[in-house]
Chain A
Amino acid sequence: MKKTIRKILGGKAMTYAMVIIVFVIMEALLHGGMISSSLAGQLVPICAYICMAIALNLTVGILGELSLGHAGFMSVGAFTGVVVVIALQGAVPSGIVRFILAIIIGGIMAALTGVLVGIPVLRLQGDYLAIVTLAFGEIIKNILNNIYLGVDGSGLHFSMKDTASLGMQGGTVIINGPMGAVGIPKLSTFVAGFILILIVLTVTLNLIQSRTGRAVMAIRDNRIAAESTGIDITRYKLTAFVISAALAGMAGALYALNYSTIVPKKFDFNTSILILVFVVLGGIGNIRGGIIAAAVLTILPELLRSMNDYRMLIYAIVLILVMLGTNNPQLRRILGSIFGRKHAEPVEGGKSNE
């Protein structure tokens, strides 16, 4: 009996329940005007970061490869989403329809980028693979910094030089190189973010508990045994990586459509790392842990706002202390004896896949 309860509490249902309950509470507080405007403004980004944490967990926790460039996929989705929303302004008047299209096309573009990046990257191993994902992240950012894109009556115009060379008659410039995208309609809402989390979560959890997901985890656990058991390494690695990229792209579109302007620099190495921190602190491969970490660590600097200049310093110290606390054998043993066995192995290594 106790076992069954623990199974339910530890299972997928619990993860969904947690997300839904927190959403309902936040929505209620929001309507009751009990949330500060700064926190309210953070709700959509939190949703986007949660999606990113789930997406990256698929690569780091389930596939078992370290990606230091996931913000790159996020930015592809973000800018694609913005272009879709602005370019279709005339053709599709409904904001919601354009928003959904933006998320879908953003995801597809990120997936295509994932294929391009994944084919070379996944041939490498370990730290070499990690550095190449970092390199690709920087390349994507660098290229986006040089894209100029506009729309007028005759359609889309593209240049890698400047806005003048777009050769447009009137129309609007959507992406302006390093200045980024401007005049974005704010179509993202907290509800939309919540729905996207549910979608991303469902895709990931269903994938993990399926034929493909098993193959991916087999590769993670023992590549040579997987090969000898007839698992196509490249194919499944690429599948997981591309799905992860697609989900990141969707998160990016959600994120971008929450702001009126967005610059490529937003999606640099530091953002990739930020998301990696969520995944690691939440427990690698632990989807629910990643969700909690993403939410808490996005709110934390907000809560520390009163400390002003010191807040990022405190954030850094907290990060170091948490890593030391959860990974040092002695400290872990002490924590374990205080909180009982379950706490002895949360962060790191505990590859529970809920």
Chain B
Amino acid sequence: MNLLANLINGLSLGAVYAIIALGYTMVYGIAKMLNFAHGDVIMVGGYVCFCTMSYLHMPAPAGVLFAVIVCTVLGIVIEKLAYKPLRQATSLAVLITAIGVSYFLQNAALLIWKSDPKVFTSVVNIPAIRLFDGQLVISGVTVATIASSVIIMIALTIFTGKTKVGKAMRAVSEDKGAAQLMGINVNSTISVTFAIGSGLAAIAGVLLCSAYPTLMPTTGSMPGIKAFTAAVFGGIGSIPGAMLGGLLLGVIEIFAKAYISTQLSDAIVFAVLIIVLLIKPTGLLGKAIHEKV
């Protein structure tokens, strides 16, 4: 029973990682950049939702909606101002800029919302599910988190596979130059990708804060790094990979905490990542890279 409870907890945490990782992976796929500011967009999403509910006394759905809108716009603005001018620059230059954006968001949040942690009220009020005569309790947040991640993943798969914009996205991530020659607007496609990724980050932020209700300007950094790890774990650039990587990472983390050591859980998570990459150097579902000689 304990095992099952841990598994469900792991899946719940993993689902949050998966949603963040989906954003990471989409942006990486199209812009070939490690967007280190992604984790901080999560934090912004959490704060916007918190403010809408606590200060404006609006209901939870409005909070979520606001968070998504603000983060989507934020994502587009960040891309336009900071990343777009660097299309031709080396990936390292873009990486450092992303880090600059990350510092900026964290410190702006520190100025606006101060450093004291806010207590986040859960946006989910689905009653908990009790199974096996109450031996196994699955909280509403857990159900909502897992459900949303599955819905998002399915929606994204359909979106990239069936819609025109989605196909354009895949084309741009495959070959920017060729896509442009085919009449695809590369810039707007990249904007859309950032918008979707950031919108997802907002949802992840709200769900994360609902499950772990302390909100600080640095709330996003560690989940951000973990989700990034998850994306790499699953094969960066791959949507099912991000989902799989996220879920596995969550489960491994919770199991490590429960059965091995609470303090060393992070080390274990990262060690598993390293082992996986040594066996499959491009992640679980990643495409192998071949260099032409």
- Among the 9-residue stretches B13-21, B104-112, B144-152, B191-199, the one with 4 or more Cβ atoms under 8 Å from chain A is B104-112
A348 to B96, CA, bound (A): 11
Q: Tell me the chain A residues, 119-155 only, with Cβ under 8 Å from chain B.
A: 120, 123-128, 130-132, 134-136, 138-139, 142-143, 145-146
- Selected from A66, A269, A315, A316, the residue in CB contact (under 8 A) with B92 is A66
| Chain B positions within 8 Å of A126 at CB level | 289
Cβ A348 vs Cβ B99 within 8 A = no
Give the distance in Å from the alpha carbon of A309 to the alpha carbon of B104 in the complex.
Answer: 12
Those of A86-139 within 8 Å (CB) of chain B: 120, 123-128, 130-132, 134-136, 138-139
Known: A128-B277, A277-B96, A313-B104. A142 touches B85 (CB 8 A): no
Are B274 and A320 in contact, CB atoms less than 8 angstroms apart?
no
Q: How large is the interface on A (under 10, 10 to 19, 20 to 34, 35 or more residues)?
A: 35 or more
Q: Pick from A145, A280, A281, A327 the residue with the most CB of B within 10 Å.
A: A327
Instruction: Indicate if the CB atoms of A348 and B264 lie closer than 8 Å.
Output: no
Complex-state Cα separation, A287 to B270, whole angstroms: 31
Q: A36 at interface (Cβ–Cβ under 8 A)?
A: no
Q: Which of A136, A269, A319, A348 contacts B100 (CB 8 A)?
A: A319
B85 near A131: Cβ-Cβ < 8 Å = no
Interface size class of B (residues with CB under 8 A): 35 or more
A271 to chain B, nearest CB (A): 12
Q: Which of A302-322 contact B (CB under 8 A)?
A: 309-310, 312-313, 315-317, 319-320
Q: Say whether B264 contacts A323, CB under 8 Å.
A: no
A277 CB to nearest B CB, Å: 6
Contact between A145 and B274 (Cβ–Cβ < 8 Å)? no
The answer to whether B2 has its CB under 8 Å from any CB of chain A is no
A200 within 8 A of B: no
Q: List residues of chain A with CB within 8 A of the CB of B85.
A: 324, 327-328, 331
In the assembled complex, the Cα of A349 lies from the Cα of B82 at a distance in Å of: 20
Decide yes or no whether B213 CB sits under 8 A from chain A.
Answer: no
Shortest CB-to-CB span from A59 to chain B, Å, is: 12
Residues in chain B near residue A309, CB distance under 8 A: 110-111
Does B54 sit at the interface, judged by CB under 8 A? Answer: no
Chain B interface, >50% SS class: helix
Q: Which residues between 268 and 293 of chain B lie within 8 Å of chain A, taking CB atoms?
A: 270-271, 273-274, 277-278, 281-283, 289, 291, 293
Across the interface, do B88 and A349 meet the contact criterion of CB distance under 8 Å? no
Known: A127-B236, A277-B96, A316-B104. A132 touches B277 (CB 8 A): yes
Minimum C-beta distance from B13 to chain A (A)? 17
**A280–B274 touching, CB < 8 Å:** no
**Does the CB pair B100–A128 fall under 8 Å?**
no
Q: Which of A136, A281, A319, A327 is B274 in contact with, Cβ under 8 Å?
A: A136
- B163-179 contacts to A (CB < 8 Å): none
A313 contacts B96, C-beta separation under 8 Å: no
- In the bound complex, residues from chain B placing their C-beta under 8 Å from that of A146 are 261, 263-264
Whether B274 pairs with A313 at a CB distance below 8 angstroms is no
Min Cβ gap B104→A in Å is 4
Which residues of chain B are near A143, meaning CB under 8 Å?
264, 267
User: Could you say which of B56-64, B128-136, B154-162, B224-232 contacts chain A?
Assistant: B224-232
Most B CB contacts (10 A, CB to CB) among A60, A131, A277 go to A131
A171 within 8 A of B: no
CA distance A66 to B89 in the complex (A): 16
Chain B residues with Cβ below 8 Å from A326 are: 93
Q: Which residues of B contact A145 (CB under 8 A)?
A: 263
A136 near B270 with CB under 8 A, answer: yes
A284 interface residue, CB < 8 Å from B? yes
Contact A139 B93 (CB under 8 A): no
Residues of chain B contacted by A273 (CB below 8 angstroms):
36, 99
Residues in B with CB closer than 8 Å to A320 are 82, 97, 100-101, 104
Contact status B93-A280, CB under 8 Å: yes
Chain B contacts of A132 at CB under 8 A?
273-274, 277
How many angstroms from the CA of A224 to the CA of B292 in the assembled complex? 10
Pairwise interchain contact A277-B99, C-beta atoms closer than 8 A: yes
The reply to whether A324 and B271 form a contact with Cβ atoms under 8 Å apart is no
Q: How far is the CB of A69 from chain B (nearest CB, A)?
A: 10
Q: Is the CB of B225 within 8 A of A120?
A: no
Q: CB-CB < 8 A to A310: which residues of B?
A: 111
* Contact in complex: B291, A224 (CB < 8 Å): yes
Say whether A135 contacts B273, CB under 8 Å. yes
Taking A123-B281, A142-B266, A316-B101 as given, write out 14 further A-B residue pairs in contact, using a Cβ cutoff of 8 Å, ordered by the A residue number.
A125-B289, A127-B28, A128-B283, A136-B274, A138-B267, A142-B264, A277-B96, A280-B96, A317-B104, A319-B99, A320-B100, A328-B89, A348-B92, A349-B90
Q: List 11 A-B contacts (CB under 8 A).
A: A124-B278, A127-B91, A130-B34, A131-B277, A135-B270, A136-B270, A280-B93, A281-B96, A313-B107, A316-B100, A328-B89
